[in-house]
């Protein structure tokens, strides 16, 4: 499976219409409610719905992830990254490196 990653450059998230729509509605939804637990936060985020059709889903990931995993330089070099012509440092596709 190919994974394509596209980022807005640092400091330009204000141009991301989806982000603005999403976070403004989340902020309105939890206005004046104490955020006392992860469950409350996830519930408030997941209950966002707008008249224009934005429906947000959220779930709490309680899995414990291993910390401090070191990736070697040779492992990084094995990742097949195809950089996009426009800002390849922010936009790229990770291509499977099949050793079949």
Element of type H or E holding 56: none
Q: How far apart are CA 4 and CA 2, in angstroms?
A: 7
Asked which of 18-27, 56-65, 68-77, 86-95 is least confident by mean pLDDT, the reply is 18-27
Number of domains in the chain: 1
Q: How far apart are CA 14 and CA 8, in angstroms?
A: 9
Q: Which domain holds residue 8?
A: 3-59+70-95
Whether 65 maps to a domain, the answer reads no
- Does the pTM surpass 0.85? The reply is no
Assigned token pair, 93 = 């596709």
In tens, the pLDDT along 20-63 reads 778 888 888 888 889 999 999 999 999 888 888 888 899 999 99
Cα dihedral 35, 39, 40, 41 sign: positive
Whether 64 maps to a domain, the answer reads no
């Amino acid at each position: 499976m190919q994974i394509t990653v596209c980022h807005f450059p640092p400091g330009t998230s204000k141009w991301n219409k989806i982000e603005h729509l999403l976070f403004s509605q989340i902020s309105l939804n939890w206005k004046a409610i104490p955020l006392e637990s992860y469950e409350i936060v996830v519930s408030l985020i997941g209950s966002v719905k707008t008249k224009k059709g934005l429906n947000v889903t959220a779930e709490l990931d309680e899995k414990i992830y291993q910390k401090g995993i070191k990736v070697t330089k040779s492992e990084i070099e094995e990742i097949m990254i195809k950089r996009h012509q426009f800002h390849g440092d922010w936009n790229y596709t990770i291509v499977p490196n099949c050793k079949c």
